[in-house]
Amino acid sequence: MKNPVIKMVFLQLILIGYGIGVRSVDQEYEKILDEQPYRSAFHFQPPKNWMNDPNGPMLYNGVYHLFYQYNPYAAIWGNISWGHSVSYNLVDWIHLEPALDPTEKYDINGCWSGSATLLAGESKPVILYTGSDFLGQQVQNLAMPKDLSDPLLREWLKSSHNPLMLPVEGIDPDFFRDPTTAWQGPDGSWRVLVGSQVGGHGCALLYRSRDFVKWERASGPLHESNKTAMWECPDFYPVGDDGRYVLKASFNDHDYYVLGSYDAETDEFGVVGVDFMDDVVQLRYDYGVFYASKTFYDDARKRRVLWGWVTEADSEADDVERGWSGLMSFPRSVLLDEDQKQLIQWPIEEVEELRGEKVALENKEIESGNVLEIGGITASQADVEVSFRVPNLEAVEVIDGGLLDPQMLCRQKNASVEGVFGPFGLLVLASDDLTEQTAVFFRVFRQNEKHVVLMCSDQSRSSLQTRVKEAIFGSFLDVDLDQEISLRTLVDHSIVESFGGKGKSCITSRVYPKLAIHNNSHVHAFNNGSKSVMISRLEAWSMSRARLVQVHTRRKPSFS
């Protein structure tokens, strides 16, 4: 079944066959989007309440599963369970009842983040997750599907052996959480990493097990840093064809990663290039609002897929008033760049199933101070791809100094500050008179005889009413200026996801326009630099809503 609509209907029939009530929320979403213009149309979020970290994404028997930290009762953090939704295409979703609820002494204060692993040979999925126990300390637990014949894996059993890993031997019980997907070494033993902080240093503790129940801690961590504190939500996976591995850690409100070599025989990991916080310029998945991410390997399409939690950028009071908080980034494919120095991220190709009306132009000059509206699309719900050419680089602006902080540079030279080449880019979620606008743009400089491209996202004028927590984000973009500078931006009501240089730098922002909503929203290409730039190609599409189905009968959780 390749047709996603047929697949969604098939999933609904399965649920009905199990005696479970379902309802489509497409029409309800129409009403929600009218009443709450910040609700996403094609980025994943549950129908209501609080959501944070993505947990345990996997593909099992042709069905994609996404679990996530979820409060079933309110739009603020608390009562943390494992929300559960399923899909055939990572775009359209059926929202199920939570897979794990905090009910046992080892997780009574919350079923916190973790991962799913498919046990080799058995093709059986299992979950490792952190429980906050009755003492408030963090322990690692195991859960398994109750019925493998259920294609949606709706019910999960907690192991009678829980907890499996305890905060002993110098581990602070407040800093011991978020187990990774496990992997099997050449000796047949399973390995898993747990995020921690030992002696004030962030680290990924390594555990091994022959049976996935009895786990032993390795003599040392897989990797650690004396320049960071606690590592949350670690992730570890191979990338590329030359044996490179990615180690990701979440700290300081961002997701940082390093590339390295891994010896499966000795479990030794060595960073190739810059280690965590060893340079002003750091490797991050995303330079905006993006945290606690998780990847999984999609064996059906031979790709690695990444999700990140995109937080709200206004206040908790706003969350309560809306009745929901948090959403997911659109799923991204993750690849190693040709230079093997960084990752490339790109929206998975299934997003193109939602593309509708298209407008296009090419070889268009934008002179200094000009703004060009991109009409003919639904600008509050759009996918825009544009490539710029910058001629005559001899006149480029020079910046002095040594290592520069790109975010600080974006603050100093925001979308309103004229340069030579730049700022130029896109104004999205813009009101009729441009009093509201979110600018995603580039600037070109020369420093030490080399050209530097700065990519920024400026939310300082995104709303007349709501001030976001961080007004400007920035990143340096490693591109060849003899070629084009590309930008792709997904706009979805209150989220703006941008991919510069074909995915070399990503910036996600949250904005809450008062005027630029629904049909009153616009997209423009702009140039506030003193020199003209060329749009070599621009294509933009209106985006349809994802299809959503919600289970509405509450079941009792099951335990072993």
Residue 194 pLDDT level (bands cut at 50, 70, 90): very high
For residue 435, is it within any domain?
A: yes
Q: What angle do CA 397, 400, 403 make, to 5 degrees?
A: 115
* CATH code for position 508: 2.60.120.560
Whether 447 shows a pLDDT value over 90: the answer reads no
For residue 554, is it within any domain?
A: no
* CATH code for position 68: 2.115.10.20
Is 239:334 a contact under the CB 8 Å cutoff? yes
Tell me the C-alpha distance between 158 and 142, whole Å: 6
Asked if 287 and 360 sit in the same domain, the reply is: no
pLDDT value at residue 6: 53
Asked if 168 and 27 sit in the same domain, the reply is: yes
Asked if 481 and 509 sit in the same domain, the reply is: yes
Tell me the C-alpha distance between 144 and 126, whole Å: 5
| Active-site position among 53, 92, 235, 298 | 53
Domain final residue, candidates 330, 347, 364: 347
pLDDT value at residue 30: 64
Q: What is the dihedral of CA 180, 182, 186, 189, to 10 degrees?
A: 110
- DSSP for 297-358, please give it: EETTTTEEEEEEEE--SS-HHHHHHHTEE-EEPPPEEEEE-TTSSSEEEEE-GGGGGGEEEE
Higher pLDDT, 9 or 304: 304
Nearest Cα to Cα of residue 552 among 102, 94, 109: 94
63 is written with which tokens?
């069905």
For residue 553, is it within any domain?
A: no
Asked if 331 and 393 sit in the same domain, the reply is: no
Asked if 139 and 265 sit in the same domain, the reply is: yes
Q: How many domains does the chain have?
A: 2
pLDDT value at residue 450: 85
pLDDT value at residue 81: 98
How many helices (H) does the chain have, and how many strands (E)? 4, 39
pLDDT digits (tens, 9 = 90+) for 57-75: 999 999 999 999 999 999 9
Asked if 114 and 140 sit in the same domain, the reply is: yes
Asked if 339 and 400 sit in the same domain, the reply is: no
Asked if 437 and 288 sit in the same domain, the reply is: no
**434 contact partners, CB below 8 Å, separation of at least 6:** 371, 427, 524
Asked if 289 and 391 sit in the same domain, the reply is: no
Asked if 136 and 14 sit in the same domain, the reply is: yes
pLDDT value at residue 5: 54
Domain final residue, candidates 307, 324, 347: 347
Whether 560 shows a pLDDT value over 60: the answer reads no
Lowest mean per-residue pLDDT among 272-286, 318-332, 348-362: 272-286
User: Is the CA virtual torsion 475, 480, 484, 488 positive or negative?
Assistant: negative
For residue 559, is it within any domain?
A: no
Q: In the annotation, is 147 catalytic?
A: no
Whether 558 shows a pLDDT value over 60: the answer reads no
Domain that holds residue 372: 356-543
For residue 558, is it within any domain?
A: no
Whether 162 shows a pLDDT value over 70: the answer reads yes
pLDDT value at residue 395: 85
Residue environment code for 261-296, b if the CB has 16+ CB neighbours within 10 A, otherwise e: ebeeeebebebeeebbeeeeebbbbbbbbbbbbbbb
For residue 175, is it within any domain?
A: yes
393 is written with which tokens?
């680089």
Tell me the C-alpha distance between 142 and 132, whole Å: 13
pTM: 0.94
Whether 270 shows a pLDDT value over 60: the answer reads yes
Domain final residue, candidates 319, 347, 375: 347
Asked if 466 and 379 sit in the same domain, the reply is: yes
Tell me the C-alpha distance between 275 and 278, whole Å: 6
When the pLDDT of each residue in the chain is averaged and rounded to a whole number, the result is: 92
Residue in this structure with the two tokens 């991204």, named with its chain if needed: 332
pLDDT digits (tens, 9 = 90+) for 18-54: 455 555 555 665 666 667 899 999 999 999 999 999 9
Asked if 340 and 465 sit in the same domain, the reply is: no
